[in-house]
Structure 1
Amino acid sequence: MIDHLPGKSLGVLIVDDNAVVRMGLRALLGTDPRLAVVGEAGNGRAALHLAQQLHPDVILLDNRMPHVDGLSVLRPLAAISRVLMTTYTHDPVTVESAMRLGASGFLVHGDFTPDELIRAVLRAGPGLAHLSPQATSAILSRLHTNVPVRTAPQNRQIDALTRREREVMNLVAQGLSNSRIASRLVLSEKTVKNHINHILGKLQASNRAEAMAHWLGTDRQDNRTEPRDVTTGRERERSRP
């Protein structure tokens, strides 16, 4: 199913095998004039086909679907658009896998409000990561389980962070939003965004999730995977819509 994208609205592709869920997501996104649903798909294969045709700004991607699931096509979809996982599971392995495969965020159904969904989609457009609370807890649990706690920075990139940047990064790794970090450190939100930009540059991370993994020492690369070029597409903190 394909619609036309009006004006400068953010184009969204909804991918879920449940037609009722797709209808609900379409209705919620339709309440904001800054968003326009440009298509729907019921499995990963159809999603990839539509994404290649439409080049949407953001893809809402379920995981458990017939024929081809979400994780199986996440990497090629992420090469085309920003991808927000929208699924019922908050299994730590699934959350971690999604973020490693290029997801810009992870939303667990029942763990976000309509306003939070719209905000997550709008933030995903310019490349800002967004995880719902259960997803954040799941990935932090997974990282803490698999990786010894770092008592001091262990590489040059982290050594390059200033004291304040390390304070900010600690709070980012706890899943705090920019506004909450600003409140915690008694800074302006703009200053926090500037610090995060500097952190991303120094850690050679393209988004907050990559920076979090690097900070926690879990950014190990699979030897079978080609190195990712981090010199382009680097996330830049922008003013929230």
Structure 2
Amino acid sequence: MSLIRVVVADDNPVVRSGLVALLEARGEAEVVAEAGDGREAIELTERLRPDLVLLDVRMPLVDGVTALETLRRLTRVLMLTYTDDAEVIRAAVRKGASGYLVHGTFTADELAAAVRDAAGGTGNPLSSAAVSALMAAVQEPSQVNVARSADHVRFGLSMREAEVMDLIARGLTNRVIAAKLFLTEKTVKNHVNRIFAKMAVDNRAAAIARWLGTAGGDR
């Protein structure tokens, strides 16, 4: 199995060295370069074409969210930062980040899995803060229905599946969705399984990101 080629971009050298050690110790990734600011991250990515960039948000010269606009056209980008501001999270996911992880909310195993999923395009790893920020963006049903009116066509969902997905995006559980739509919980679960299959995701966080049209895999 070939190693995942990664560029680590963070203005804190201690954080960078820790990430490099974590990633390379597992034998799945090779850190091909380190960047201390967004401009350097873009230059290195253009030259080296890695499989993934791990990108901090708050960096000098060019911040991470701004750099993301260029980087996402070159490779996949996983935001990895201490910033848990909801507006920043939504901006990053909207601009094409393949995932958003907040330091202190994941284990080494979870980071390794996130790198595999983001680099391979098989998932959109999101910390709980990121999930909450995305859900908050679609809390009002009227806003959801207007913004997502054509998404059932894009993903091949039935109207009922689109209705269920709208409620998932508002953070509702299968039990609550069942009560709202006058369905059994088993029926809702079946709808959710079909939705995940059609949207090519395996969890609610990734489904929400794609439903908002902001997942990295939609570029």
**What one-letter code is carried by the residue in structure 2 that aligns with 1:141?**
A
**What one-letter code is carried by the residue in structure 2 that aligns with 1:16?**
D
TM-score, structure 1 length as denominator? 0.69
Mark the CA change 1:32 to 1:166 in structure 2 (over 3 Å): closer, same or farther.
farther
8 Å contact 2:124–2:209 — kept in the other structure? no
Alignment of 1:67-86 (within 5 A): 67-86=61-80
Deviation of the 1:84 alpha carbon:
0.7
Structure 1 residues not aligned, in runs of 5+: 1-6, 177-182, 199-206, 220-232, 236-241
Mark the CA change 1:164 to 1:120 in structure 2 (over 3 Å): closer, same or farther.
same
- Aligned CA RMSD, in angstroms, stands at 3.3
Determine whether 1:122 maps to 2:125: no
Alignment of 1:1-40 (within 5 A): 8-40=2-34
The structure richer in helix per residue is: 2
Aligned to 2:179: none
Aligned to 2:198: 195
1:104-154 CA distances to partner (integer Å, 9 max, x unpaired)?
A: 110011111111111111000122211111111122223427x74546996
Q: Which runs of 4+ in 1 moved over 6 A?
A: 151-154, 189-192
Q: Which structure would you say has the larger RCO, counting Cα contacts within 8 Å and 6 or more residues apart?
A: 2
Aligned to 1:161: 157
Report the Cα distance in structure 2 between the residues aligned to 1:11 and 1:73, rounded to whole angstroms. 19
Mark the CA change 1:153 to 1:30 in structure 2 (over 3 Å): closer, same or farther.
closer
Structure 2 residues not aligned, in runs of 5+: 174-185
More displaced, 11-20 or 123-132? Answer: 123-132
Report the Cα distance in structure 1 between the residues aligned to 2:62 and 2:172, rounded to whole angstroms. 30
1:79-120 CA distances to partner (integer Å, 9 max, x unpaired)?
A: 111101111111111001101111011001111111111111
Determine whether 1:45 maps to 2:39: yes
8 Å contact 1:77–1:83 — kept in the other structure? yes
